[in-house]
Amino acid sequence: MDERHGSYRFESGGFAFLLDRENVVRLKGMADFETQEEPAIAEQFLRLRAEAWAETLNSVGGQGGPPDPGRAAGAPPAEIAVRVDPHQRKAHLVRDQTVVVSADI
Q: Of residues 36 and 60, which shows the higher confidence score?
A: 36
Task: Determine the Cα–Cα distance for residues 46 and 9; give it in Å rounded to an integer.
Answer: 8
Neighbours of 10 (CB within 10 A): 23
In sequence order, the β-bridge partners of residue 90 are: 85, 104
pLDDT score at 77: 81
Q: Where are the alpha helices (DSSP H) in 1-105?
A: 21-28, 40-60
Judge residue 54's burial from the number of C-beta atoms within 10 Å of its C-beta, 0-12 exposed, 13-18 middle, 19 or more buried. Answer: buried
Predicted confidence (pLDDT) per residue in 61-77, tens digit: 644 444 454 444 555 68
pLDDT, mean of residues 8-17 = 95
pLDDT score at 61: 61
pLDDT score at 59: 84
pLDDT, mean of residues 76-104 = 94
Domain residue spans in the chain? Answer: 7-104
pLDDT score at 64: 45
Question: What pTM was computed for the model?
Answer: 0.83
Contacts of residue 64, Cβ cutoff 8 Å, sequence gap at least 6: 15, 56, 57, 58, 78, 80, 93, 95, 100, 101
pLDDT, mean of residues 3-28 = 91
